Amino acid sequence: MAGNRAEQLRPGWAAPVGAPPSPLGDWDILGLPNRRLSAALGLLLLLAVAAIRIAAFPASIWDQDEAYLGLAVVDFDPAANRPHPPWFPVWVAAGMLAEPMAPEPAQGLQAIGAVAGVWTLYPLVALLSIWMRRELAAAAAALYLVLPGPWFLSGRAFADTTATFLLLLAAAWWLRRTPDRPTLVKGAVAAGLCLLVRPQLVLTVAGVAAFAWLGARSRSDRTALALPLIAVLAAGGLAIAAASGGIGPLRQSFEAHLRYQLDGLAAVDHGLAASGVARCLIRPELAVLWIVLAAVGVVAWHRQRRSVGSPWPLVVGGILPLLVTIHWLSDPTRARYALPFLALTCGFVVVGLASLLGSRLAGARVAAAAAGSLATGMPQSLRYRADDSPAIAALRMAAVDAAASGGPVVVERTLRSFADYLASTGALRSPLITDFSVEIGAVEPPPAATTVAVFPEGRGGFVAASESSATFRCDLPWVRRLESDRFLDITVATGAQVVRTPTRW
């Protein structure tokens, strides 16, 4: 009788009283009465997520950081900024393992990210179903996975998608109501790997770990949480130190990169319209709607905390540290930085909808939003999959023109990592010069007749004249919104007269 009364007092979105632990490792993520049907529907959902990830697997890299990571796969040298601090050791190691199976170094990383983007379904459902009904948890996870940002960025060489997967995995194990020691150990290993894939998530991992630590029942449980995490991080730190020849070169590289980052933060745009969240949702109005619904969900959840469980482990342990990291310790305009924030808030969005409209209407609205995203994004995804990015397309053309003329390729400095990446694959064999080398007098301006210059829009001041030029532009609306503006319009100038002139970083 008391159990029935407790069930009646619970909101419609909450997990039933006595529901089994989160379904991590179980094909049946929906928890329907017919287990076979439930497992089959869950598998169909997984296959649907895989299909759209394959549809949006990009033809090439798009950002200079992807080029740096690809170069690190070829030659991991932390002291020489391959890659730049904090070096992403497990991510680069994963790329090295995948390299023999991939046509290009970065494509192994892209494939791993896409796979992680598919399997994110399971830890996200597992985490949310600690408190929510499984079918609503699955709806929230599906909504996250078809948002433009998580969808189109999953097949990139960045570490963000895989780090988000590992963060959710750690939280799904650590935040269970009564996790046993093996569960705490698994969460600690996932958290350690998350930090070695993307160390910038340290505040969020520490926040979730703090709640798991406070909820531990004994000293042995706390040991099971702490020791594996420390061991994984220590192993990664030793590997980085060994690869760079000691702590000294690492410190110098880190200090130089930190100064560069801090200088850049002074000029970033902290407005909502330019934020990573708004970029991942494409329109600022949708970002406002997402935030409002998430806030409504937090309030509704908090009011039911005695029967459902508190939302504060997710809010205080996960979301608030993420906001600090994204908005004050990094460039908030980067869409990929918002991926873990969207993942941790999607459950609150669905709870907000359910509290305003009821669970059934909330599910219908989520399905409609997912269908709208798919209808808009699928035509763009097919072109995204087929066409090289402007930077890569332009440099491939420059490689052909320079090979024909026998001259060098002069690249604007921000494109040097792309050029080095193509050189590492053998696609660009001509001598490479940067505009900065010409500016400081390290290299004399080469003969115009044989020179090919490549530069982004607005950064071609070092080219005084040219015989002909071609510009490669990205005209995919979602991709233009998700990407850095620097690499969306790239010009190739043949017969380029390169001059010594002040340029900018």
The verdict on 13 and 115 lying in the same domain is yes
Q: Is residue 505 part of a domain?
A: no
372 and 406 belong to one structural domain: no
Same domain, yes or no: 89 and 11: yes
For residues 214 and 120, give the distance between their C-alpha atoms in angstroms, rounded to a whole number: 26
- Please report the pLDDT score of residue 269 as a whole number: 86
504 in a structural domain: no
Phi, psi (degrees; rounded to nearest 5) at 479: -65, -40
Structural domain contains residue 136: yes
Cα 36 to Cα 331: distance, rounded to the nearest angstrom: 46
Per-residue model confidence (pLDDT) at position 25: 78
Cis status of the peptide bond prior to 86, with omega within 30 of 0? yes
pLDDT of residue 295: 97
Q: Specify the number of domains making up the chain.
A: 2
Domain end call among 322, 357, 383: 383
Positions of E strands within 243-377: none
- Whether residue 60 lies inside any domain: the answer is yes
User: Does residue 239 share a domain with residue 93?
Assistant: yes
**Which helix (H) or strand (E) element contains residue 129?**
none
Which residue, 475, 299, 281, 301, is CA-closest to 369?
A: 281
Exposure letters 271-280 (e unless 16+ CB within 10 A, then b) = eeeebbbbbb
SS3 content of the chain, % helix, strand, coil (to 5): 65, 5, 30
Of the residues 330, 363, 383, the one at which a domain ends: 383
Residue 247 and residue 151 share a domain: yes
Is residue 180 helix, strand or coil? coil
Q: Are residues 143 and 13 in the same domain?
A: yes
Q: What is the pTM assigned to this prediction? A: 0.95
Nearest-angstrom CA–CA distance, 35 and 389: 45
Asked whether residue 298 falls in the same domain as residue 361, the answer is: yes
Looking at the fold, whether 330 and 423 belong to one and the same domain comes out as no
Neighbours of 426 (CB within 10 A): 9
Residue 503 lies in a domain: no
DSSP type of residue 433: E
Same domain, 77 and 200: yes
- Domain end marker among 383, 411, 437: 383
Q: Please check whether residues 279 and 359 belong to one and the same domain.
A: yes
- Write out the residue range of the structural domain in which residue 283 sits: 2-383
- Residues in the chain predicted with pLDDT less than 70, given as ranges, are 1-9, 505
Crossing angle for the helix pair 416-425 and 390-405, to the nearest 10 degrees: 70
Would residue 38 count as lying in a domain?
A: yes
Residues 416 and 325 in one domain: no
Verify that 379 and 410 share a domain, yes or no. Answer: no
User: What are the strands, taking DSSP E only, across 178-292?
Assistant: none
From the list 453, 176, 439, 175, the residue with the least C-alpha distance to 317 is 175
